Structure formats: structure tokens, C-alpha cells
Structure 1
Amino acid sequence: MPRPKSLTTADLAAAALAVIDRDGLPALTMRAVAQQLGMATMALYRYVPDRQRLEILVADAILGSIDVSPPPRTDWRERLAILLDRARAAISAHPAAVPLALRHRQTSPATTRWIEAMLTVLTEAGFTGRDRVIAQRVVVDFLLGFLQNEHYAALAGAGTAAMAELSAAEYPLLVDTATQAREMSADDEFRGGTELLVLGLSARLRHRP
């Protein structure tokens, strides 16, 4: 008769996240998680079949922490910005695990709840049909692109620094822009990008055929 299971999916996800937060994503293995839980590696297989399943549990835990409750009944632009900020904050809380949250986002119920909340805001703003599809895609693309840049393209990092050192005579605009970028924080860029996104969506509503 098999031993009754005593660990929950939350326990497994927490142990996997602890490994990733401490040692990085490449360190996520069945053995490492088993050690984190204080159990034999083979015993872990009673709960999860492989690393892929561990990845999904981690993604669910991260995405599940996103607050999808309706933002305060303010202007739709502000509510959209709030939902974007909540998603960024939850995913960025575990920088090394960002790829898992992005890779497995479509398998997580938390993602569908966040998208439904965002679609509610867009619908109340006046987006319908194809326009709503495009607006939602643009919002998601902005968030995913920013998260990848923030954590894996080294915003204001070595690449930007190298561009700032190029010849100003040959690349005046690039050098000036890179120099400015080096002085900006990720928060500055996210807020600025959100503002531009909202302005574009607002313009679309005003100038629809």
C-alpha cells in the first residue's frame, strides 16, 4: 500500500522557487528540489513526473500571485496601468524565474483571469471586435517585451553603455539616446512605456473609422 502523499503543490512550488531564487534557473532539477524538501530524489517522483511539471508549478505560483481584482473605478487608462503594474511586480519578484512565467503563462488559470480583467477594462473603454483583439495583443506584447528586456537584455547595461560610447559624429541620435537611457531606471521606462501605450490606445478610440 503506497504511502499517503503529504506535500501540496504549493509546497513543491515554494521549494522549486527557493532553488531558483538562490541558485538560478539552470539549478532547477529534481534532485535540487528534493534536497530543498529534505527528501530522496526518487520520493519526489511520487509528486511530480519531471522538471517540466516543476516549471509549470513555479509559473502557476508566480502568476497566481497577480492581483486580478477590479482596480478602483477610476479612468480606464489608470485601471489598465494598474493591471500592467501588478503583473510586472508579481513576475519580477522572482527575476531568475521570469522565463518560466513567460513560457508557461498560457497554461496557468491566473493568466486567463488577468487577461479577462484587462479585457473588461478595454471593453468598458469602448474597444470591441477586432480593435479589442489588437488592443489586448498590444498590451500583452508590451508587458512580455518589457519583462524580457528588464531581466535578460540588461536595460541600461553593457549594451547601452557600449552604444553611448560610439562616435557622436557618426551616430548623434543613438549616442544621445543611449546616454539618456543609462540615467533611467526600469521603473522610469515602464511608466513611460505604459503612458505611450495608453496614449496610442486612446488615439485609436478617438479616430476609429
Structure 2
Amino acid sequence: MPRPRSLTPERLAAAALAVVDRDGLAALSMRTAAKELGMSPMGLYRYVSDREELERLVVDRILGAVDTAPPPRDTPWRERVELMTGRLREAVARHPEAVPLTLTHRHRSPGGLRWSETVLGILTEAGIDGPRRVVALRALHAYVSGAIQLEHRGPLAGPGTEAIAGLPGDAFPLLTATARDAGGVGPDEEFLGGLRMLLRGLGD
């Protein structure tokens, strides 16, 4: 039977992403996606073969929202990489529960591939190539995904920081002092501060 025109890949991705956003990544299945769409699980198999294909659609939707246009070349390379990294963070951070999927399937996502190609171009112009360029790109991906998950699951303003600040100061003097300082650091300051430290290191 022909597929109904209304059930597009975009609609499938939106339904699967709604499940992940609301109930967490572990809740995503053919059954839960079908329920979100108001159809039977068997009916969903006419459109996607398995959960992995659903995951790919989710990643395409998330990374497809990233602006991958190269920044102006008259801007310093670190600022251009910072801009590109901020764009990736903005898109992925809207769906923190899906971060593991972006790591698993980004190599199949056109949006993710275009982002990497743009960043690699900037790094190459900065004289970063060969194995250093490999490590640089991986470091940027690791930083974005790790920072988003830390902000989502263990924010500086959360109870974990308060618990550390309340530890015995004689046993953990530096840790407790750092936790007290953390209360004045916002999410954007935390992200950009760490990113700029990373970028300074890439230029060495």
C-alpha cells in the first residue's frame, strides 16, 4: 500500500523526538513512537524499519537546525570556531536527552557533516591539519556534548554544588572554595569560558 502523504520523515522525527524530550531516550521505541503518532506499531513499520532508523531521523531533525554557513573570513579563526560551536550547542541543547544520539549518528546526518566540514575549513586555515585537526574536531564535539549533559544533569546552580560547598573545609579546602565560587557562574559563562580555554590550547 502507498504511504499516506501526511506521514512524512519530518513528522516521524517530530514524534520520536517528542517521546525523547518528554520521557527520556530509553523510552524511545517503535511502540512509543507509534503511540505518539496515533497509530499501531505494525503500521509504523511501513515507514521505518527499526528504532535505529527512528534515531537517525531524530538526529537529522536536531542537526538540521544548525546554521552551518561559514562565518566571515576576516574574523579571527578562534572567534569563528566559537561561533560555530555556539550554533551547535544552541541546536543540541534544546534536546539534551538526545545528546547520545547525536554522537552515535552524526556521521550520517547532513547537518552534522556540513557543520564539521565548515569547522575543519576554519581549522585548516589556522594551520591546524593532519592528526592535530582530527584531535581538534573530536575535542570540540566532546566539549559540546559533555557541556550540555553537565548543564542538564548537574548544573552549577544545582544541589550537587551545594553539597560540595558543605563538605568539611579542612578536608577539601580547594573543592569547597571552588563550589562556593561556582554559584556565581552562569551557564553561558561556564560554556564560553571552557571553550575559550580549549581554543587557546588548539593554537599552541
Structure 2 length-normalised TM = 0.89
* CA deviation map 1:108-136 (0-9, x unaligned): 23222111111111111121223322322
Cross-structure match for 2:201: 200
How many residues matched?
Answer: 202
Cα offset, 1:5, TM superposition: 4.2
> Letter of the aligned partner of 2:107 in structure 1?
Q
RMSD value, Cα: 1.8
The separation in 2 between residues aligned to 1:21 and 1:120, in whole angstroms, is: 33
Distance in structure 1 (CA, Å) of the matches to 2:3 and 2:109: 27
Change (3 A) 1:97 1:128: closer
Once structures 1 and 2 are overlaid, which stretch shifts more, 47-56 or 17-26? Answer: 17-26
Whether contact under 8 Å (2:96, 2:149) holds in the other structure is no
> What residue is the counterpart of 1:115 in the other structure?
116
Q: How many angstroms apart in 1 are the aligned matches of 2:78 and 2:178?
A: 27
> After TM superposition, where is structure 1 displaced by more than 4 Å over at least 4 residues in a row?
none
1:81-120 paired onto structure 2 within 5 Å? 81-120=82-121
| Cα 1:101/1:128, change in 2 over 3 Å | closer
- Summarize the alignment of residues 183-198 of structure 1 with structure 2, pairs less than 5 Å apart: 183-198=184-199
Give the Cα separation in 1 of the matches to 2:63 and 2:35: 25
User: 2-side partners of 1:161 and 1:180: how far apart?
Assistant: 11
Please list the CA deviations of residues 147-183 of structure 1 after superposition, one character each: whole Å capped at 9, or x if unmatched. Answer: 2322234444233222111111221111111111133
% identical equivalent positions? 51
- Amino acid across the alignment from 1:13: A
Shift of 1:139: 2.1
Aligned to 1:34: 34
Match of residue 139 from structure 2: 138
* Greater Cα shift, 64-73 or 150-159: 150-159
Q: Quick one: which amino acid aligns to residue 56 of structure 2?
A: I
Contact 2:66 / 2:91 at 8 angstroms: preserved in 1? yes
Matched to 1:55, the amino acid is E
1:19-30 alignment to 2 at 5 Å?
19-30=19-30
Structure 2: gaps of 5 or more residues: none
Q: Which amino acid aligns with 2:35?
A: Q
Structure 1: runs of 5 or more not aligned:
205-209
1:187-206 per-residue CA deviation (whole Å, 9 max, x = no partner) reads: 1110101111122123x1xx
CA contact (8 A) 1:163 1:174 kept: yes
- Counterpart residue type for residue 59 of structure 2: A
The Cα of 1:59 is off from its aligned counterpart by 1.2
- Separation (CA, whole Å) in 2 of partners of 1:27 and 1:139: 29
SS at match of 1:3: coil
- The letter of the residue matching 1:19 is V
Q: Residues 164 and 179 of structure 2 are in contact (CA less than 8 Å); yes or no, is this contact kept in structure 1?
A: yes
